[in-house]
Amino acid sequence: MKTRDIDIYLFHQGTNYRTYEYLGCNLVECGEKFIYSFRTWAPSADGVGLVSSFSGWDECLPLNKITDKGIWELIYTSDRPLECEKYKFRIFKNGMSRDKGDPYARFSVGGTDGASLVFTSSDYPWGDEGYLKFRKRVVCTREGSYIPAPLNIYEMHLGSFMRHDDNSYYSYRELAEILPAYVKRMGYTHVEFLPLQEYPFDGSWGYQVCAFYAPTSRFGSPDDFRYLVDMLHRAGVGVIMDWVPAHFPKDAWGLYEFDGAPLYEYQGKDRQESRSWGTRFFDLGREEVQSFLVSNALYFLREFHVDGLRVDAVASMIYLDYDREPGEWVPNCYGGRENLEAIAFIKKLNSAVLGEFPDALMIAEESTAFGGVTAPVSDGGMGFSLKWNMGFANDFYDYVETDPLYRKYKHTALNFPISYAFKENYCNPISHDEVVHGKKSFIDKMFGSLDDKFYQARVALMAYMTYPGKKLLFMGTEYAQFREWDFASSLEWFMLDYPNHKAFRDYTAELNGFYLKTKPLWEIDFSERGFRWLLPDEAEKNLVAFRRYDLDGRYVTVVLNFSGVSQSVEIDAEGKALKVIFDTGNIPEESKYIKVNKTKDRSFANITLPAFSGVIYESVSKNIKIDIKNKDKERKNVR
């Protein structure tokens, strides 16, 4: 077979994972002449033409149908390079025509226009070889642990992280001068960008994508985005992209009924559309759609060096009754509600991505108890690296919003998560979804007075950082922004002029730094070996205590007091004294070294914690001499 025939064959088989090198616009030859291929898949179209800035928008150049399964082609010769020239495909169907953006366009005008831009190659000079080698060591499996490394992710919406005084966007390159140093200084290992593939409607936050291969032009060119990724890597910060393979919007220039009929979306009304989002679901059982999406995932890992993808709305893909009433969906061949085609697609996706990039992260936003999300495909699982633990976040927020007098009735928010913490490889998110639409910001979720909110937020953040699971925190939370997140304006960085907020950001950075250097907090996140309850059931005291272990058996002891009053407890001391190595900033000096008490049968330590406080101890020899007189003198209280 000729190479072109192989490309076509694999595309229709659902196994061409470099489809973008064949379909779309590609430079075939350059020299005295520049020869470009324009190809698209439109099996239901009566005809396809090319309209463009370089051939005159009034002239429609016809594409030839070159396969029975609907691939159309035009070979165009130009006397000059066409980079960044605009074009669209004109689709003819039943005597009507409409202009569409190229599904495989690597650059797009976006907005309501949606014109594609010729962008066939990049000569960006990458300088992140050192980070890519480092990544292989971080995302790994060692005996006794999976991903035995700290993952502390800073989730971001680029359009509202920071804006100019006139409310215009910072560009990719401007952000590259600010962001790497900030997230590194704050102790984050990765940034996670809300979707950056071209989307028309700002209010979708990027989750309604029209041009899947095109980084949004809001912030610059594809090479400008490469520069941002490169600068983050050079600073030692990984990059995760939010990726949306579940659905797409009905904007006229996008994938919606691309060839005049449902093509990328499901044909049947029982699966086709989301009532809540007003979008179309991808037909994940169609082989050509599988080639499109798997190629797209790999495109960003190959071409932009991103370190992983957070796969959005997995539940909407794997359940036939998602967002549907009884009678609006058809069971699968076994009578169940599972979308077998979608599950098979996800397994194919993760096998392809992690087969080529075993050190990448594939993270599922999956909001149900579907089993085996992070189990290997070879064991019957879906093969994701990590799954967002959305239940932990929801229960925990309900707990901290409750008056401490009544938290004892909701104590399961603190101990129940451990009962399922090791069933999947979890990432615990404090995400964008929880700080909008009246849900209140993280700091404002805390019960009580202003002072109490800050004290409780410190304990809550310590709980989040010490429970099993990898970490993700949405921007603005690190300095306790009170206002809910607004996609249309900048974060309120001026809040750092207030002592409470500056102190909270300093605390967050200090806690992050402590997390990064403390192996027991991350080396065994996904096994019971890494966790042991000491006091799971102190509901009356709003208190829990537990230990976290590393692969060598070393441990730290964590005690968290969510009560509005001081609480005293006894904990198992294993024959050793306890020394405070981190706290929420309101622990008296005399409480920073706890002597061990011994009886014939046991050894224990008596601990007293102030209201709304948390402590992390290490166990030390009882005879060690500890100078606590000036220790932590610079630590700041909330006020």
Does 629 score more than 50 pLDDT?
no
> How many C-beta atoms surround the C-beta of residue 20 within 10 A?
24
Q: pTM, whole model, 2 decimals? A: 0.95
pLDDT at 628 over 70: no
Is residue 79 among the annotated active site residues? no
Instruction: Give CA–CA dist 575/361, Å, rounded.
Output: 41
How much is the average pLDDT of 225-238?
98
Strands 190-193 and 238-243: parallel
Is residue 609 over pLDDT 60? yes
- pLDDT grade for 592, boundaries at 50, 70 and 90: confident
Confidence band for 55, pLDDT divided at 50, 70 and 90: very high
Per-residue pLDDT at 372 exceeds 80: yes
Category of 542 on φ-ψ map: left (φ > 0), alpha (ψ -120 to 50) or beta: left
Question: Residues 147-165: what's their mean pLDDT?
Answer: 97
How far apart (Å, rounded) are the C-alpha atoms in residues 189 and 270? 42
Residues 26/7, Cβ–Cβ less than 8 Å? no
Does the pLDDT at position 79 exceed 60?
yes
- Determine the pLDDT at residue 601: 84
Q: Rounded CA gap, 495 and 480, in Å?
A: 9
Ordered DSSP codes for 449-469 = SHHHHHHHHHHHHHHHHHSSS
> What tokens appear for 378 in the block?
């070879």
Can you list the pairs that 213-216 forms with residues at least 24 positions away whose Cβ atoms lie under 8 Å?
213/20, 213/24, 213/103, 213/104, 213/105, 213/106, 213/296, 213/299, 214/105, 214/106, 214/107, 214/108, 214/110, 214/116, 214/117, 214/119, 215/107, 215/304, 216/110
Q: Is 354:346 a contact under the CB 8 Å cutoff?
A: no
Cα distances from 48 to residues 216, 253, 279, 305, in angstroms, run 26, 14, 25, 34
What CA–CA distance (Å, rounded) separates 605 from 624? 16
Sign for the pseudo-dihedral over CA of 396, 400, 401, 403: positive
Taking a C-beta distance cutoff of 8 angstroms, is the pair 124, 229 a contact? no
Catalogue all structural domains in the chain, each as residue range(s) with its CATH number.
Answer: 3-117 (2.60.40.10), 530-620 (2.60.40.1180)
Active site residue 312: yes
If one compares 216 and 628, the residue with the highest pLDDT of the two is 216
102, 341, 365, 433: the catalytic one is 365
Supply the pLDDT for residue 633.
40
Instruction: Express each pLDDT in 528-560 by its tens digit.
Output: 999 999 999 999 999 999 999 999 999 999 999
Token pair listed for 71: 């691939």
Q: Which residue of the set 312, 478, 523, 525 is catalytic?
A: 312
At residue 599 the predicted structure's pLDDT band, cuts being 50, 70 and 90, is confident
Tracing tokens 């990898």 back to the chain, one arrives at 470
Cα distance between residue 516 and residue 501, in whole Å: 23
What average pLDDT does this structure show over 515-532? 97
pLDDT of residue 622: 56
Check pLDDT > 60 for residue 632. Answer: no
Whether the per-residue pLDDT at 330 is higher than 90: the answer is yes
Per DSSP, helices labelled H in 41-93 are: none
What pLDDT, on the 0 to 100 scale, is given for residue 394? 85
Q: Nearest CA to 543 among 347, 408, 344, 416?
A: 408
Share of the chain above pLDDT 90, in %: 90
With tokens 């794997």, the residue in question is 318
